[in-house]
Structure 1
Amino acid sequence: MLSFHCSLNLNILETSRPFTHSYSRFFPMSSPVATAVHAAAPYDRAKAVKEFDETKVGVKGLIDSGIKVIPPIFVHPPETLAELKRGAEPGSAPEIPTVDLAAVQESRAAVVEQIRQAASTVGFFQVVNHGVPEELLRRTLAAVKAFHEQPAEKRVPVYRREIGKGVSYISNVDLFQSKAASWRDTIQIRMAPTAADSSEIPEVCREDVLEWDKEVVRVSRELYELLSEGLGLGAERLNEMGLWEGRVMVGHYYPFCPQPDLTVGLNSHADPGGLTVLLQDHIGGLQVETEQGWIHVKPQPQALVINIGDFLQIISNEAYKSAHHRVLANHSDEARVSVAVFLNPSDRERVFGPLPELTSEEKPALYRDFTFNEFMTRFFKKELDGKSLTNFFRKS
């Protein structure tokens, strides 16, 4: 059997040789692929996951190889697949709120109330007229797509799982913790407080992501002001806590999936940090869970998607709510691209908890105090699995 390790001559990516012997290691004995190739050893999931990771070419490498059946490490259990079919009733599906930030000039109070309402219910909203040039939005998405669609030998050198690296390219941050992998690859770039050296950022996307980060800082500071006012606090209360000073940018790439009904693009989860600023392309696939069921976050030209993270839910003492969200596997021939920036505190040793101004005898603190380092360490020890992070820090 051929070695599954990927060398720079990348035989694994020869599209003229789909289902090489190397790929048979991904399929169990019952698989028609395994039968067609040759008898294989009993399926060992842990081994298959390790061998997939060691290729360092991600899901894009699988697609480039010409596969028509997804490896079983990506097949989700029946209960997850059944959940994918649960959505809002046809004709009743709401849309997440859209907030026009330019309206602040006419009625700041009205915009504060719109954002407060969205943050305290669905936990998601889109913003338009945010001041980011349309050309930069297009270039940022194109730059991230260009990175993922480079020849594999350009991606392999930055494929790594070590936490804390300035730049890393991986497939599934929770690959070794999850019950099933998701059909996506990611480039992650640390922007602050200790930014990746610019020379580490792949040249194909370097200039655009650095420019994009500057715009995210401006927009996020404005959003935190409005969210702070929505809590009845001064406009600068959240910004004074440095909730935008710790930033990680991720560029997700969701290639075509030959069996989208058997897997997901991103499993259901809630983001851990304060706010997430998301730029998504026109393909769609992002869904958020609401009281009416799972609803699509429809792409809007030039809009940014904003969502509340677990950390902001905790410090607001649940005045604001984080929300489960997921991305469906991409059935389109065109790859889906999104660029998210996670906004966190910069001081990882500072102790946080529900803000004193938001607690009282009538509404005591719902969560215990913790350092942000403890908070994020807990997050990376588990798979992406809903609200277990907030449950862990909740007072008994």
Structure 2
Amino acid sequence: MAAIASACYDRAKAVKEFDESKMGVKGLSESGIKTIPQIFIHPPETLKDIKSNSSKKTTNSIPLIDLSNVNSPTHRPNIVKQIKEAAKTWGFFQIINHNVHVSVLENTIKGIEAFHNQPHETKSKYYKRDEGRGVMFASNNDLYRSNAASWHDSLQAWMAPEAPNGDELPEICRKEIIEWDLHGGGVTSMILELLSEGLGLESGKLKELSFGETRVIVGHCYPYCPQPDLTMGITPHTDPCAITLLLQNHVPGLQVMHGADWVDVNPVHGGLIVNVGDFLQIISNGEYTSVQHRVLANSHEKSRISIVMFLNLSKWKGEGYHGPLPELLSPNKPPIYRDFTQQEFFDNFYSKGIDTKSFIDKVKIQN
């Protein structure tokens, strides 16, 4: 009977029906289902990794960096050193004392949570698949490009270089998104300076190249999943951008690959998480490293909320290309990646589901 059921299963039809319902996984979860739809079930090799990891304990954690003395000539060099080491060996680090008040962080989380907690009939007017601009609510950006859907919904708002009209943003979280773009943008500006200095460049170099001028804020919701061992919150991937700034509530789930182990990333009160994207790995000629990370499906009654700010450049060189920064190259340090075009970069991202370093692999120079 199972074989017959499998033979009759039409995945494309099931995906389309779920998408057109506009209810997202939050709607499925709130409907009281006990088993998840087949489109969310992941292959055995992924699930085996989740189960085997659950019994493996590691005391490792991503580096925690205190920025309270970042403007002190005495302390700044050590902070730069810490960030450089973290960006090279972990690809992730958590920052505290970043000059954003905890109330701003909490209000941002509450605003995104309030949006996702609305009835799906209310949220559905924002539900669409128009990636790369404006405001979009959807479940799984790569729903039609992936082999298995993941258990999360997302509100996406492109804030720069072209900001949305105020009334495009949902009223229930409009103020919070605009305020977070301001505060988060300030934090990432400071991080870009420190990363520049870590490469031995002038502090303003990455900002001068317009990194940070393309920003998108994505508010993820990972609601309760009745069968968390059969699916993922988000599958293992690296971020294609330059850097990512992450704010999350205290529901666990985020894991980072370090060596051969998946390491839990537990939020610190008032902390923000920064990670290196593929673009920064390439332009730093491998000095900084983007690493795999994933989110496990949520087995807790309370939804996991995370607000991600992705940053990338807005101005491409000449005819629209980029590659390792010339300042970082020498006869002793030749380029390990080739130059690539803007079109190549976007075609790679929008042609498939999220994955790990597929673009880096394409532009790596083979010796």
Residue of structure 1 in register with 2:208 after alignment:
240
Residue of structure 1 in register with 2:234 after alignment:
266
For residues 238 and 339 of structure 2, the distance between their equivalents in structure 1, rounded to whole angstroms, comes to: 20
SS at match of 1:95: coil
Q: Is the 8 A contact 1:74 1:180 kept in 2?
A: yes
For residues 284 and 80 of structure 1, the distance between their equivalents in structure 2, rounded to whole angstroms, comes to: 19
Q: Does structure 1 residue 100 correspond to structure 2 residue 70?
A: no
For residues 184 and 301 of structure 1, the distance between their equivalents in structure 2, rounded to whole angstroms, comes to: 24
For residues 247 and 131 of structure 2, the distance between their equivalents in structure 1, rounded to whole angstroms, comes to: 24
Q: Does structure 1 residue 203 correspond to structure 2 residue 152?
A: no
TM-score by length of 1: 0.88
Aligned residue type for 2:304: R
For residues 39 and 212 of structure 2, the distance between their equivalents in structure 1, rounded to whole angstroms, comes to: 36
Q: Is the 8 A contact 1:353 1:368 kept in 2?
A: yes
Residue of structure 1 in register with 2:365 after alignment:
395
> For residues 90 and 49 of structure 1, do their structure 2 counterparts lie closer, same or farther at Cα, with a shift above 3 Å needed?
closer
> For residues 90 and 59 of structure 1, do their structure 2 counterparts lie closer, same or farther at Cα, with a shift above 3 Å needed?
closer
Match of 1:355 among 325, 331, 341: 325
- Per-residue CA deviations over 1:151-175 (Å, capped at 9, x if unaligned) read 1121111111122340000111111
Residue of structure 2 in register with 1:174 after alignment:
142
Match of 1:386 among 348, 356, 367: 356
Q: Percent identity?
A: 50
Match of 1:63 among 29, 32, 46: 29
After the TM superposition, which residues 180-329 of structure 1 pair with which residues of structure 2 at under 5 Å, given as runs? 180-329=148-297
Residue of structure 2 in register with 1:18 after alignment:
none
CA drift at 1:377: 2.6
CA drift at 1:92: 4.0
Runs of 5+ unmatched residues, structure 1: 1-28
For residues 235 and 101 of structure 1, the distance between their equivalents in structure 2, rounded to whole angstroms, comes to: 16
Runs of 5+ unmatched residues, structure 2: none
TM-score by length of 2: 0.95
For residues 318 and 155 of structure 1, the distance between their equivalents in structure 2, rounded to whole angstroms, comes to: 42
For residues 329 and 213 of structure 1, the distance between their equivalents in structure 2, rounded to whole angstroms, comes to: 27
Greater C-alpha Rg: 1
Q: Which moved more, 1:92-101 or 1:69-78?
A: 92-101
Q: Is the 8 A contact 1:265 1:328 kept in 2?
A: yes
Higher relative contact order (CA 8 A, sep 6+): 2
> For residues 242 and 80 of structure 1, do their structure 2 counterparts lie closer, same or farther at Cα, with a shift above 3 Å needed?
same
For residues 7 and 84 of structure 2, the distance between their equivalents in structure 1, rounded to whole angstroms, comes to: 56
For residues 95 and 88 of structure 1, the distance between their equivalents in structure 2, rounded to whole angstroms, comes to: 16
For residues 119 and 64 of structure 1, the distance between their equivalents in structure 2, rounded to whole angstroms, comes to: 39
Root mean square deviation of aligned Cα: 1.9
Aligned residue type for 2:201: L
Aligned residue type for 1:356: P
For residues 201 and 374 of structure 1, the distance between their equivalents in structure 2, rounded to whole angstroms, comes to: 30
Residue of structure 1 in register with 2:43 after alignment:
77
For residues 197 and 246 of structure 1, the distance between their equivalents in structure 2, rounded to whole angstroms, comes to: 16
Q: Is the 8 A contact 2:283 2:325 kept in 1?
A: yes
- Per-residue CA deviations over 1:255-308 (Å, capped at 9, x if unaligned) read 000000010100000000011000011011100000151000011111000000
Q: Does structure 1 residue 52 correspond to structure 2 residue 18?
A: yes
For residues 363 and 87 of structure 1, the distance between their equivalents in structure 2, rounded to whole angstroms, comes to: 38
CA drift at 1:374: 2.8
Q: Does structure 1 residue 118 correspond to structure 2 residue 86?
A: yes
> For residues 40 and 278 of structure 1, do their structure 2 counterparts lie closer, same or farther at Cα, with a shift above 3 Å needed?
closer
SS at match of 1:99: strand
Residue of structure 1 in register with 2:128 after alignment:
160
Q: Is the 8 A contact 1:89 1:292 kept in 2?
A: no
> For residues 115 and 41 of structure 1, do their structure 2 counterparts lie closer, same or farther at Cα, with a shift above 3 Å needed?
closer
Q: Is the 8 A contact 2:140 2:152 kept in 1?
A: yes
Residue of structure 2 in register with 1:346 after alignment:
314
Q: Is the 8 A contact 1:347 1:372 kept in 2?
A: no
For residues 15 and 190 of structure 2, the distance between their equivalents in structure 1, rounded to whole angstroms, comes to: 42
For residues 40 and 326 of structure 1, the distance between their equivalents in structure 2, rounded to whole angstroms, comes to: 28
How many residue pairs match? The answer is 362
> For residues 224 and 89 of structure 1, do their structure 2 counterparts lie closer, same or farther at Cα, with a shift above 3 Å needed?
farther
- Per-residue CA deviations over 1:82-140 (Å, capped at 9, x if unaligned) read 12235498554311000101132241110000000000011000000001111110110
Q: Is the 8 A contact 2:209 2:315 kept in 1?
A: no
Q: Is the 8 A contact 2:58 2:263 kept in 1?
A: no
Residue of structure 2 in register with 1:365 after alignment:
335
Q: Is the 8 A contact 1:86 1:293 kept in 2?
A: no
CA drift at 1:30: 3.5
Which portions of structure 1, spanning 4 or more consecutive aligned residues, are displaced by more than 6 angstroms? none
SS at match of 1:125: strand
